[in-house]
Every structure is written in C-alpha cells, then in structure tokens.
A and B are shown apart, each in its own frame.
Chain A
Amino acid sequence: MNSTVTQDYEVPSRRLEIDKYVVPAVTIVIGLLLAFFLIFPIFSILQLSFFKGGEVSLATFTLDNFYKYFTTAYTLNALWHSLYISFVTTIFVTVITFFFAYALTRTTIKGKSAFRAIIMMPLIAPSIMQALALIYLFGRNGLITSHLFETDWNIYGSTGIIVSEILYCLPHSFVILFTTLSAVDIRLDEAAESLGASPLKVFTKITLPSAKYGILSAAALTFNLTITDFGNPVVIGGNYNVLATEIYSQVTNLYRFDLGATIAIILLIPSMMAFLLNYYISRKSFAMISGAARPFIPPSKTLKKIGFTVYNTLISSSIILIFATVIIGSFVKVWPYDWSLTLDHYTFPSIGGYSAIWTSFWISIIVGVVGSFVTLVAGFVMETRKPFFKQTMYFFSVMPAAIPGLVMGLGYILAFNKPYFSFYGTPWIIVINIVICNFTLGVLSSISNLKNIDPSIEEASISLGGDTIRTFFNIIFPLARVAFFQNFIYFFMRSMTTISAVIFLVSASVHLAAIEIIMLDNDGWTASANAMCTCIIAIVLVVLGISNFVNKRTISHPEGGALA
C-alpha cells in the first residue's frame, strides 16, 4: 500500500514517512511506561524477597524469607485461609450469577432492566461497604443476630469474609455470564426441546456446555478478585488473617518489608494462575459465539417465571439491603440503640474529612481522562497498526489484572521512594498507580470497541491523506467516543473506590476518601465510615448520571458530535 501511494502523491508520502515513526514511537513510549511503572515495582519486590537487604548479588541470594514464611504457623495459615475463602466464594458467586444471568437472558420475567441495574450496584462502592453493612446486621450486636434472633452467633471471621466477597464479586461475574448467555445461540436449546429432550436434559447437555468458557472465565475472575481483596477481610476478618492482610501487617506492624514482599510473591502465584486461566479461556470462548445468535426468547412457563422472579428478587434485595444499611447507618444516632436521625457522623473526626473527598474526586477525574486516553491510544495502536511488538505489548497490557493492588502499592514504595523520583509523595504517583492497576480492562474494552469501527472509514481517511495522528484524532477518537466514555466511567469508579492499591501511597498532603473509610473504621468511628462510604456512592452516582446524560445527547445527534 505504501509504495503505490508514495509513487503517486507527494504530500501523503511525507505524512506516511512521519507515520512510520509515530507508530513505533507511541508503541515504545507505552511499552516504556509499562516497563517502568509495572515491571520495575514488581522487580523491586522480587529483589527484596530473594536477596538479603535487597541487594542483588550471588552472595546475598537467600531463601530465608520463604523458609520463615512456610515454617511460621500463622503466616502459612494465611495462605490456606486465602485459598479456602476464594474457592468457596468462587463457587457461590458463579452459581448465583449464572442463574441470575440465565433468568435475564433465557426467560421472559419482568423487570429485567431493574435486576440488571441492581446487580451492578456493588461497582459504585468501595470493597469495604459489604463488611461494614454485615457487621451492622450480623455482628455481635447486629440488628438481625442480636436484636431479632437474640443469638450469640456472629459473622466475624471466615463466614463474614466469604459473604462480603460474594456480595462484592456479583457484578463482575454477572457481566461475563450475561454476555456469554446472550451470545450463545438459543436455537440450540429450542432444537433439543423440539426433539423431545426434557428441560433438565436441555440445561445440562446444551445450555451448560455451551456456556462453559464463560463460566470458567467468571470463576477465574471471581477467584482473583477475592484473593486479592483487602478492604473486606481487614474489617470483618477478626482474627482470621488472609494473605492480603498479612502483607499489610508484616510491613506495618513488624517492619518486615522483606517478609511482606515474600508474602506478596506468594499471593502473586494463585492470582497469576487464575489470570492465565482466564486469559486462555477468554481467547477460546470467542469461537463459541455464533454470529447467527438472535435475541428472541420464547415465552417461559408460569412456574419458571415465578421461580426466577423470586430468585432474582432475593439476590437483588440482599444487595439493596447492604446499601440501605450503610446509608441508613450513617444517619442514625447510635445503631441499633438510638434510631433518631442525625448528621453528626458527617462531621468527620479525621484530618482528611471533606478535603479527602474532594481530593479523591479530582484525582479520579484525572485518572479517568488520562486512563481512558492512554488505553484508547494503546488499543488503537495494537488493533489497527499492528506494530512489531504487538504481542509483547498486549501481554504487558493485560498483566496488571493479575497483580494485586496491595502488591503494586508496596512495589511502588520500594521502587520509587528515591530522592530523584520527584513524583513520589505527590498526587501523580497515585494517578499513575491507579491507571496502571486498571490498565487491562481499559485496553480490552478499547480493542473490542475499535473492532466495531468499520475499517473502511479509516482507510478512507488514509487515502485522503490523513496520517495516523490525524486519523486518530479526527476519525477514531470521535467514533470511539462511546469507548472513551465507558473507560472514563470505569477508571473514575475504580479510582474513587480503590483501597488496596493506594493504602501505602496516601500521604500527609494527599488524603483519599476510600482510605479514610479504613482509618475511620479502625478507630471505631463506624458510623462516620458509613457516612464517608455514602459520600463516595453519591459522587459516583452523580458522575454516572451526568455522563450518561451527555453520552445520550451526543449519540442522539451523531452528526453534531462525531466529526466536530
């Protein structure tokens, strides 16, 4: 293509000359960014766990930390605890969300859009809200345990972690299963049924096998989310330690950065395995999606409809219950003794207070803009320009999903707290950390959105003399507006709610709202922790509302927005 164009036209050839440099340059810049902000911190952790004093040499190589880890009963237990909790959570979440998604894709129950909205709700709150609510409901002095049933049973420990993780992971698993079940051709089920197969047989022989990759992928994701979560276990775990909390306590209580780094490596292994499984499966599962799939669903039997409506209502109500508990809990005087309403808990007894909410907000806006722009560029270069390093770049881009936030945070301290890295201690390190930690989903959604853009538009741009930069800004960027908005919302939400990645990075000048929740709860200001949580939820909802509004308006006037 290049040769013919250069022979015929003078101007485009110069542009394509620039093009030759732009694509590799962009690729290299993104590659370097990932190497510096992703690989370097991980390398620092490896260094500290395998070498005495973190100095790399043959003489200082040691396995002492690992020996110590595996011979100390309570640190080793953290591994079993983490695995146990993640397995149980994974099974529950996958089963629950499978039937939830089944009801929405294969039956004709009413209120589907409401169910869909409700199950996505946990995404807008930090992964600590579930634990806060469960303590109010099922703690030693919980509304349900102590006051309704007057029992001594309480939810602290493994049960509490599992229940809160289930409630936290629902939307993540649901999205995958919903997509899978909507994509698999429903006519297979119909054909089997008309050939005389019983409903159970259709379900076990057709529906389940055709969704198996989606199920595995959802399970792997849930496992990963659970094993790397820090917020819920730290609040409701009680004496039950897991790997994520153990990293934190080794570093902050015993000053054992080396042991903390070692446990980080140990946590990295199962989460990396779950990630690789997911990666492998999701590549395969695309093959299962039939282009001839059609959304028509035959009317379901009444009994089936009632059953699934009840089931979906139950799941949805438990999510709503969690939200209601936290929000109501932030407005009542002394839960559960004094139900009079008050705004006292909104005068936060902490240094951060409202300024922390404000800081969180504008950091999240920046994370949203920077994150969605960088991932869109990365996706664009990889998908349409196919640079020489595409595979490597792709691998690095999806790797952050495998790395627990807490591990990244620790790695950032170890790697970047040097006098010559002037961004350490500023808000920028937090922005970078959150963008890198959530890079994977941004890139993946950019790629899948770019796939939807008809390549002929782009070709037209090039044949009319547009170079890569022009094509990107004038054609791709406006067309990928939806992708950009989606990514912006995603990065914004993650940034408002993330705890584990940034708990090591907040500083005297940068307080973040999600971390304030942990601090307030640690000091026993549970009601104020609920209030802070409510503030975050409110802000995310407002931003979601605004961007939905803007998005709808620009879409309804496509010619106005697209090429302006």
Chain B
Amino acid sequence: MKTVWSTIVISMLALFCFTVSAVAKDTVVVYTALENDEIVKYLALAKKELPNLDIKAIRLSTGELGARMLAEKNNPQVDVIWGWAVTNMAGFVDRGMLEKYKPKNWNKIPDHFKDPKGYWTAIDLYAAAFVGNKRVLKAKGLPMPQSWNDLLEPGYKDRLIMPNPASSGTGFLQIASLLVMMDSNYKTRPIEDNRAWDFLKRLDKNMGQYIKSGSKPAKLTAAGEYAVGCSFAYVYTSLKKKGFPVQMALPAEGVGYELEANALVSGAKHKRAAKKFLDWAISKSAMKQYAKFKLGVTYPGIGGPKGLPPIATVKLAPMDFPWQSKNREKILTVWSNLFLK
C-alpha cells in the first residue's frame, strides 16, 4: 500500500516538474485582447514562422488586460502586449509600464498608426457595427436599424444589446464615437455635460442588457436572444458563415473604430524573445492573417475580409484618441453612474 502511494506521489511530482520545465525554453509571455478564435489561427502561423519560440499566451478582455498589468506592475509576468486598444495603451505609457521598441519594418506602417517614439505600433482597425437577427426582426415586424438614431424607435424596447464600455473595448469605442460626434464642444465641455449622454439616456430605455464582451451582443443576437446587437464588423461575417440568420449595418452617423496595437512591456523577463515576436507581429504574413478577420490592417496594400465593405468606402467617425485615452476613466465613471443599476 505504502509503495503504491509513494509511486503515485512521485510520478505526480515528476509529471509536475516536467510540465514546469517545459517553460524553461525560449519563452515569450503574451497578453492579448484579440478575439479567441482569431488568436488560435494567428498562433498557428506564429508557431510555424517562429519555431524557436515557446509562445505562452492568455486572452483577456480589454479591461482585464489592463488590470493584470497593474496588478503585476512590480513583478511583470508578461513580455508582450498584442492587439490591445490604443486608448488604453496611452495611460500605460504615462505610467512607465511600456518600453520603446521599433520592430523590424516599423517604417512600413503609416505614421498615424504608431506612436512616434515607438511605444506602440497598431496592427489593425476594428469598427462598430449593428448586427440584426433577420428572423427575430421579421417576427416582431421591425426594420434593420441603419443609424444610432433608429435604435430609439420604441419597437426595439428590450430587444437591443450593447457591450459595457467599462469591460469591453468595443463598448468604449461606441460610446467614445458618440461623445465626439454628438457634441462639437466635447473638448471644452465637462465630460458629464456632454450632449451625447441625453441620447444615451434615451437609448438606455430600449436597451435590454449591457454585456461584458464586445462580440457577445452579436452572438446573442445571432442566437435569437435579441433583435439587434451593437457589436463590431467582423463578428458578423463569421456568424453568417456559420449559418446564423444575421445581417449587418454600419451606423450612418459615422462608424466608431479603435486601433489595436502591440507593445513591449518594461521589465519584460524575456526581452530578446519578445522583440522577435513583435517583429513577427507586424510582418506582412501576420498582417495578411489579421486581414482575414479585421475591417482593416495597418500594413499598406492588404485588403479586408470578404463580406465587409472596403475600408475606403466606410464613413468613419472622427475619433480623437488622445482625448479619449486621457479621459477614459472619467467617461467610464459617468457612464457607470448613469447606467448601472
């Protein structure tokens, strides 16, 4: 009996050590806010093109990723941030938690898609979109909304869903675009007096739920839980491919968007490997892979995915990234106080 037990314990310990020692290779630890299904595809390519790297990655929501970084500030566990909202990035540059690095082929990326000092480099742009469930809309006799204003129609009451801007990057870009578009004095007026809040209060009356993630409004709508979900563009094409009865509209007022960027974390424990990964992450082959999912990528000359309009034809909202990243916390506090119950 005793020998049986000790065999079990020893083999377990051996197994454990084995698993831990696998980490000792040329590791790079990556935090990313890209969508899970995308990451699986990107990482498959990365493993082929970077055979010497052991890429350890975890997918976190936009909010969770920042919280992790802050929690680990004094003892960073991560080397690379991959595909995280630029709005959040700025605050971490100020906190001194990111390190300058200009990856190989940095010059190929247009200037407005990267930090001039090299703190971050954007890889893609993703845009807000309404996703409707054809069956639900038809059953309830509702038209597909074409603009934010359409969503105020009483018929949509409790059949709309949008992300919570505090936890979801998609949610934040939607709110930020409205704040900028609906109030020409957004820069000078105190945030809590922005004209857009009146609109959002009216929208709130129709809103069924504010949910944690940005893709979930579209997915729940596809599953028939809601009529229209405020989400982002790509998720629509993937749902359509899967056979869900969905249709898409880009908000007529202007399409809010966000850049997703990469950065090197200061105090990274595997700096050499991290730089290799960052080089790869803006390479043309990586960008081509991103382009299968994203409305637009920052590498010139690569078109977006099938089923989405080319980026040049989209009426983008006049996003003000420096302003929204400086005021992120304030915007979220006002939003939380107004709409969380």
Residues of A within 8 A of B (CB): 72-74, 77, 135, 139-141, 146, 152, 156, 234, 238-241, 249, 251-255, 257, 334-338, 349-351, 353, 359, 362, 365-366, 369, 413-414, 417-419, 424-427, 473, 478, 504, 506-509, 511, 519-520, 522-526, 554, 561, 564
Contact = CB atoms under 8 A, between A and B. Distances in A.
A257 B74 CA distance: 15
Contacts of A334: 223, 242-244
A365 B8 CA distance: 10
A349 B64 contact: no
B2 interface: yes
B75 A349 contact: no
B341 A519 contact: no
B262 to A, nearest CB: 15
A493 to B, nearest CB: 18
A504 B167 CA distance: 15
B182 to A, nearest CB: 23
Contact of A507 (B9, B12, B77): B77
Given A139-B225, A351-B43, A424-B75, A508 B29 contact: yes
Interface string B250-280: 0000000000000000000000000000000
Interface in B282-341: 329, 332-333, 336-337, 340-341
A522 B75 contact: no
Contacts of A414: 71
A351 B337 contact: no
Interface in B201-255: 208-213, 215-216, 218-220, 223-226, 242-244
Interface of B: 1-2, 8-9, 12, 15-16, 19-20, 23, 29-31, 35-37, 39-40, 43, 56-59, 61, 63-64, 66-67, 70-72, 74-75, 77-78, 158, 164, 166-167, 208-213, 215-216, 218-220, 223-226, 242-244, 329, 332-333, 336-337, 340-341
B57 to A, nearest CB: 5
A252 B31 CA distance: 14
Contacts of A519: 36, 59
Main secondary structure of the interface of A (DSSP, over half): loop
Given A257-B71, A349-B37, A509-B29, A141 B77 contact: no
B89 to A, nearest CB: 14
A427 B1 CA distance: 28
A508 B58 contact: yes
Contacts of A564: 1-2
Contacts of A249: 166-167
B99 to A, nearest CB: 18
B243 A338 contact: yes
A199 to B, nearest CB: 47
A419 B43 contact: no
B215 to A, nearest CB: 6
Contacts of B243: 334, 338
Contacts of B57: 351, 508
Contact of A362 (B15, B58, B226): B15
Contacts of A353: 40
B226 A253 contact: no
A418 B67 contact: no
Given A239-B209, A253-B167, A334-B244, A508 B61 contact: no
A511 B226 CA distance: 32
B31 A74 contact: no
A413 B69 CA distance: 11
Contacts of B209: 156, 238-239
Contacts of B12: 362, 365-366, 369
A369 B70 contact: no
Contact of B77 (A140, A240, A425): A425
Contacts of A425: 77
Contacts of A240: 341
Contacts of A238: 209, 211
B78 to A, nearest CB: 7
A72 B210 CA distance: 19
Q: Considering the complex of A and B, which 3 residue pairs feature the smallest CB-CB distances, nearest first? A: A524-B219, A141-B224, A253-B166
A369 B59 contact: no
A240 B164 CA distance: 13
A326 B216 CA distance: 19
Nearest to A373: B9
6 contacts: A251-B71, A252-B63, A255-B329, A417-B72, A523-B219, A561-B1
A369 B167 contact: no
Contacts of B208: 140
A111 to B, nearest CB: 37
B212 A254 contact: no
A522 B61 contact: yes
A118 to B, nearest CB: 29
Contacts of B16: 362, 366, 427
A77 B340 CA distance: 10
A74 B40 contact: no
Nearest to B66: A255
A74 B336 contact: yes
A251 B71 CA distance: 9
Nearest to B227: A140
Which among A337, A338, A473, A520 has the highest number of chain B CB atoms within 10 Å? A337
Nearest to B8: A369
Contacts of A424: 75, 77
A73 B40 contact: no
A248 to B, nearest CB: 9
A523 B235 CA distance: 11
Contacts of B43: 351
A561 to B, nearest CB: 6
A255 B58 contact: no
